[in-house]
Structures are given as structure tokens and as C-alpha cells.
């Protein structure tokens, strides 16, 4: 329930406003002079100030300035007689939200108050969203403590301050969208627009008009001019996700637009100048596609000024417990529930799982478990059957056969999983684990050192998200 402070030196008017606004459902405070009003502002949370412009002692304009010094975001509506309209305009320049001329109807003042409160609410929501987005996109808050992610973030921080074109490479779900947002947020273009276009989500025959817009009459049903994404991003950043899906004619026009900083709308003849930074992303190997003729080599080299390869989650397993903890808290907050805990068996499974959908798959799975798990602690049986029964050995084999993972890396991962399970099964007794695996303790220790397996590391990974 919004709280309104009414400042009016005429007793009848003060009582009338107090009564009617209270009946409207507002909480009200009232004062007949500015000094008392300022004291109320220091002691109470006030959502809107309704004040007469002519007050005894401190005048209304001086009162407004005092309010804005201490409560800059609080909307102030002025009540003024016709003869002081010029002063009211001066007050608007000093920060007043609006003014109303006396005499006014009660419906008029109620409507004005509702409007200003709605505007104030939207501004506060936008400010909160900007702050939350800024915190999320701060390099320090992008979750990733592994050496590979730290290397990527260091490069992102360096390239953000430049105006270079950036090409983000990596599998689907690794976080290319988040990195593109972070680059824009930390660039000199942060106050400009960030426009994203997913090249796979738009039919091929519409891509050109979506990118560059069209003139009225350019084709059937083009009843009015349409501004394209390139033009919408003027002064900011254009993020082209899955750029490898662009057809060759659109690739040619995009190359020209990037190189000349000009474009022509579909059906138009005049060139338009545009100032846009381009960030592109693809889960395909664009260099290989350029060499095979599936992607224009000249566009690839123009985009590949700065190239960032984002590692898949299976190559940054040190980040899994941190990401898990982060998503458990985030999803609990989003759904207004208490954060779940996770059993050591689930953490162990997450550490050995191949995560074909990468970070996006982990986030979506945690959201599902947050909503559907019947217990405070997520157990192995709570995981979806399709994930729980997945044959990791078969998944590794497929990755090797597709050429997306070296054989040596797959062998190491399989060996690590087997050793970890043997150690857990024997209570971290290396002699018993070696016997279970049919090897000697010396060879087991050698393999553990090579694969960087230690009891301390395993224990810390298990407890980070179960505490």
C-alpha cells in the first residue's frame, strides 16, 4: 500500500485530501508546513509527496529542492494556483514530477497520483533490473573458477574495452550469450542498445529483412517501413547468434555492412550510415566451414578479429560444484522456495556426467529438481531417469567417433570415474581400492597423481554444495 505525504497549509483542503486518499486505499501522512514535512520524510518511507507550492516559512520550491536532496527518487506533485504557473514550470525543472492547478477535482488528483505512482514503480523496477543485470554481468560474478574459464574471462575483460569484432565459438549451452552481454556491458557502448538476433530462429527468406529492414512496398504486405536489427543496434552492439546458419547472399550483405558501416533497406536505394559493434557466435567450426566452402572465407576473417573459444562443461569440471551451488540459490530465489541441498552421490554423479547440453543443461536440471524434488536434500533417485541411466561410456565413445574429443582425453575421463568410484566404495582406502581394481597400490597412486585425484579434492567438491 503506497504512502503519501500531503503538505497543505489550508486545514479544510488538508482534511479533504487526507480523507479521500485514505478512502482510496493509500496510507497518508500530513503536514501544514515544510519543516514538519521534512521531519516526516526522515522518519517514514514515503512513496509520493503532494504539496502546495505556497507554504508558510520555507516556500514550496525550496521544500521541493530539500526533498530532492534527500529523496531524489520520490515523486513530488505540486498544487498551485493559476497565477503561479511560471513558478510551477520552474519547479518541474528542479525535479517535480507534475503539477495540478487549483481548483481541481478529486478525481483529477487521484488520477494524477495513480499515474505518478505507476511511473515511479516502473522506474524502480527498471533500476533494480539494471542493477541485477549489472551484477550478473560483472566479470567477478560470472561463475567460473577453473583455469580455462579464468583465461576466457581475462580475454573478455581485455577485449570489452575495444571496438573489435568478436567471434565466440563453443558448443551449444556453454554461455556464449552471457559472454556477449558481458562484453557489451563493460564496453564504451554499455549505454547503447544490445540487440540479439538468432539466425536459426528466423526463416531464411526473412533474414535479410530482419537484419536490414525494408521500405514500404518492398514486397507484398510491406505496408510500412520496417527498421532492421542492424539499425536498431546503432550506437550499441549487434549479437549474431549461430551466424553459421546465414545463407550466402545475406553473408555478402553483412560483410559489406560491417566493412563500410552502411546498409540499404530491402527495396530501398539510399544507403544509411550505422555505428555498430558486431559480436558473432557459432557452435560450428567456422574456420573449417570457410575452408570447405560452406561459409564465406572473407566474412569469417572479418569476424575473426578476436576469437574466444568457450570450453564445454566437461572440460571445466572444477566449476561444477560452484555452478551447482549458484543455480541452487538462484532457482530457489526465482521460485520463492528454500534452497535445496544435494547428496554426495548426486554431486559425484554430476562430476562424472558428460553434460552434452553444458551449463544450460545443468541450470535447467537444477530448476527442475528445485521445483519437483519432494525432499530438502536432492537424492540420486530424484534425477530424471533418462539422465540417471545414461551410459557415460557410450556417450564418451560417440564423442570420440564424432571427432569432438581426443581418445586420450576420453580414456582419462573414464579411468578417473572408475578410480573415484572405487575409492568411495572402499572409504578412500587406497590398498582396498587397488585390490578392487585389480592393480597395485603403487600404480593406483601413480594414476591418481596423473589424473589429479586426491581425497581432499573429492571431499571439498562433495561438501561445497551439501553444506
Residues 122 and 150 in one domain: no
Under a CB-based contact definition with an 8 Å cutoff, are residues 183 and 237 in contact?
yes
* Structure confidence at residue 463 (pLDDT): 44
* Structure confidence at residue 220 (pLDDT): 67
Q: Which of 311, 331, 353 is the last residue of a domain?
A: 311
Of 30-39, 115-124, 186-195, 250-259, the least confident: 115-124
* Structure confidence at residue 402 (pLDDT): 67
Residue 7 — φ and ψ, nearest 5°?
-120, 110
* Structure confidence at residue 281 (pLDDT): 95
Domains: count for the chain: 3
For residue 129, is pLDDT > 60? Answer: no
Of 207-216, 295-304, 331-340, 390-399, the least confident: 390-399
What CATH code is carried by the domain that includes residue 68? 3.40.50.2300
Residues 408 and 320 in one domain: yes
For residue 395, is pLDDT > 70? Answer: no
User: How confident is residue 251, by pLDDT bands cut at 50, 70 and 90?
Assistant: very high
Among residues of the chain, what percentage have pLDDT more than 70?
Answer: 88
Residues 337 and 459 in one domain: yes
Residues 55 and 184 in one domain: no
Residue 28 Ramachandran class (φ > 0 left, ψ -120 to 50 alpha, else beta): beta
Residue 427 Ramachandran class (φ > 0 left, ψ -120 to 50 alpha, else beta): left
Under a CB-based contact definition with an 8 Å cutoff, are residues 186 and 160 in contact?
yes
| Among 284, 352, 281, 348, residue whose Cα is nearest residue 314 | 352
pLDDT: is 136 or 355 the higher one? 355
The 10s digit of each residue's pLDDT in 154-181 is 898 899 889 999 999 999 899 899 899 8
Residues 307 and 319 in one domain: no
Which residues form the domain of 50? 3-132
* Structure confidence at residue 404 (pLDDT): 66
* Structure confidence at residue 176 (pLDDT): 92
Mean pLDDT of all residues in 295-302: 94
Residues 422 and 300 in one domain: no
For residue 116, is pLDDT > 80? Answer: yes
Residues 306 and 323 in one domain: no
Q: In 297-383, which residue ranges form alpha helices assigned H by DSSP?
A: 297-303, 320-334, 344-352, 358-372
Mean pLDDT of all residues in 297-314: 93
Of 13-27, 279-293, 377-391, 450-464, the least confident: 450-464
* Structure confidence at residue 324 (pLDDT): 92
Residues 81 and 109 in one domain: yes
pLDDT: is 168 or 450 the higher one? 168
Whole-angstrom CA distances from 383 to 353, 374, 387 are 12, 12, 7
Q: Which of 134-148, 195-209, 271-285 has the highest mean pLDDT?
A: 271-285
The 10s digit of each residue's pLDDT in 45-90 is 999 999 988 888 887 788 888 888 888 889 999 888 765 667 767 7
Task: Give me the residue label for grid cell 541411466.
Answer: 389
d(CA 137, CA 157): 11
What CATH code is carried by the domain that includes residue 283? 3.40.50.300
For residue 464, is pLDDT > 50? Answer: no
Q: Which of 132, 167, 195 is the last residue of a domain?
A: 132
Residues 388 and 460 in one domain: yes
For every residue of 408-437, DSSP letters joined together read: HHHHHHHHHHHHHHHHHHTTT-HHHHHHHH
For every residue of 130-192, DSSP letters joined together read: HHHHHHHHSGGGS---SHHHHHHHHHHHHHHTS---EEEE--TTSSHHHHHHHHHHTSTTTTS
User: How confident is residue 258, by pLDDT bands cut at 50, 70 and 90?
Assistant: very high
Task: Give me the residue label for grid cell 573459444.
Answer: 309
Q: What is the pTM of this model?
A: 0.58
For residue 43, is pLDDT > 80? Answer: yes
Q: Which of 134-138, 397-401, 437-441 has the highest mean pLDDT?
A: 437-441
Q: What is the mean pLDDT of the chain?
A: 84
Reduced DSSP (H G I as helix, E B as strand, rest coil) percent helix, strand, coil of the chain, to 5 = 55, 15, 30
Among residues of the chain, what percentage have pLDDT more than 90?
Answer: 30
Mean pLDDT of all residues in 40-44: 91
Residues 240 and 377 in one domain: no
Mean pLDDT of all residues in 90-97: 80
The 10s digit of each residue's pLDDT in 329-360 is 889 988 999 899 999 888 888 988 888 889 99
Residues 96 and 207 in one domain: no
* Structure confidence at residue 394 (pLDDT): 58
| Among 286, 289, 423, residue whose Cα is nearest residue 348 | 423
**Cell triple for residue 336?**
520463492
Residues 80 and 176 in one domain: no
* Structure confidence at residue 465 (pLDDT): 45
pLDDT: is 216 or 388 the higher one? 216
For residue 450, is pLDDT > 60? Answer: yes
Task: Specify which residues 385 forms β-bridges with.
Answer: none
* Structure confidence at residue 435 (pLDDT): 87
Mapping DSSP to helix (H, G, I), strand (E, B) and coil, where does residue 31 land?
A: strand
What CATH code is carried by the domain that includes residue 366? 1.10.8.60
Element (H, E) at 307: strand 306-309
* Structure confidence at residue 126 (pLDDT): 63
Mean pLDDT of all residues in 264-290: 89
Whole-angstrom CA distances from 240 to 187, 204, 251, 282, 460 are 17, 14, 12, 9, 40
Q: Which of 109, 132, 155 is the last residue of a domain?
A: 132
The 10s digit of each residue's pLDDT in 210-246 is 888 887 776 667 677 778 888 889 999 999 999 998 8
Amino acid at each position: 500500500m503506497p504512502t503519501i505525504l500531503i503538505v497543505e497549509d489550508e486545514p479544510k483542503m488538508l482534511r479533504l485530501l487526507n480523507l479521500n486518499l485514505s478512502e482510496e486505499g493509500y496510507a497518508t501522512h500530513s503536514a501544514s508546513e515544510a519543516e514538519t514535512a521534512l521531519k516526516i520524510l526522515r522518519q517514514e518511507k514515503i512513496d509520493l509527496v503532494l504539496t502546495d507550492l505556497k507554504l508558510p516559512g520555507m516556500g514550496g520550491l525550496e521544500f521541493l529542492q530539500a526533498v530532492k536532496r534527500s529523496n531524489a527518487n520520490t515523486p513530488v506533485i505540486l498544487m498551485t494556483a493559476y497565477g503561479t504557473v511560471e513558478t510551477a514550470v520552474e519547479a518541474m525543472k528542479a525535479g517535480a514530477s507534475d503539477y495540478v492547478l487549483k481548483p481541481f477535482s478529486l478525481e483529477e488528483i487521484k488520477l494524477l497520483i495513480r499515474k505518478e505512482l505507476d511511473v515511479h514503480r516502473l522506474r524502480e523496477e527498471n533500476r533494480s533490473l539494471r542493477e541485477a543485470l549489472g551484477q550478473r554481468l560483472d566479470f567477478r560474478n560470472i561463475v567460473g573458477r577453473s583455469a580455462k574459464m579464468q583465461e576466457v574471462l581475462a580475454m573478455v575483460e581485455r577485449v570489452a574495452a575495444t571496438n573489435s569484432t568478436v567471434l565466440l565459438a563453443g558448443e551449444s549451452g556453454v554461455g556464449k550469450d552471457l559472454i556477449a552481454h558481458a562484453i557489451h556491458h563493460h564496453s564504451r557502448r554499455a549505454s547503447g542498445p544490445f540487440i540479439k538476433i538468432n539466425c536459426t530462429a528466423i526463416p531464411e527468406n526473412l533474414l535479410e529483412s530482419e537484419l536490414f529492414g525494408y521500405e514500404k512496398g518492398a514486397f507484398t504486405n510491406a505496408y510500412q517501413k520496417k527498421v532492421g536489427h542492424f539499425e536498431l543496434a546503432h550506437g550499441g552492439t549487434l549479437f549474431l547468434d549461430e551466424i553459421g546458419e546465414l545463407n550466402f547472399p545475406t553473408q555478402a550483405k553483412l560483410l559489406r555492412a560491417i566493412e563500410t558501416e552502411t546498409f540499404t533497406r530491402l527495396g530501398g536505394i539510399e544507403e544509411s550510415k550505422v555505428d555498430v559493434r558486431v559480436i558473432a557466435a557459432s557452435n560450428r567450426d567456422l574456420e573449417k566451414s570457410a575452408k570447405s566452402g560452406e561459409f564465406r572465407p572473407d566474412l569469417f576473417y572479418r569476424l575473426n578479429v578476436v576469437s574466444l573459444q568457450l570450453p564445454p562443461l566437461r572440460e571445466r569440471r572444477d566449476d561444477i560444484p560452484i555452478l551447482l551451488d549458484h543455480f541452487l540459490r538462484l532457482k530457489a530465489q526465482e521460485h520463492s522456495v528454500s534452497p535445496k541441498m544435494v547428496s554426495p552421490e548426486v554431486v559425484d554423479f554430476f562430476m562424472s556426467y558428460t553434460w552434452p547440453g553444458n551449463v544450460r543443461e545443468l541450470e535447467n536440471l537444477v530448476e527442475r529438481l528445485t521445483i519437483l524434488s519432494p525432499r530438502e536434500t536432492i537424492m540420486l533417485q530424484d534425477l530424471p531417469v533418462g539422465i540417471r541411466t545414461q551410459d557415460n561410456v557410450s556417450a564418451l565413445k560417440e564423442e570420440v567417433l564424432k571427432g569432438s574429443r581426443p581418445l586420450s582425453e576420453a580414456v582419462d575421463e573414464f579411468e578417473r570415474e572408475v578410480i573415484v568410484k572405487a575409492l568411495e566404495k572402499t572409504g578412500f582406502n587406497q590398498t582396498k581400492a587397488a585390490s578392487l581394481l585389480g592393480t597395485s597400490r603403487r600404480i593406483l597412486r601413480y594414476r591418481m597423481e596423473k589424473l589429479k585425484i586426491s581425497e581432499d579434492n573429492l571431499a571439498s567438491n562433495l561438501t561445497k554444495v551439501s553444506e
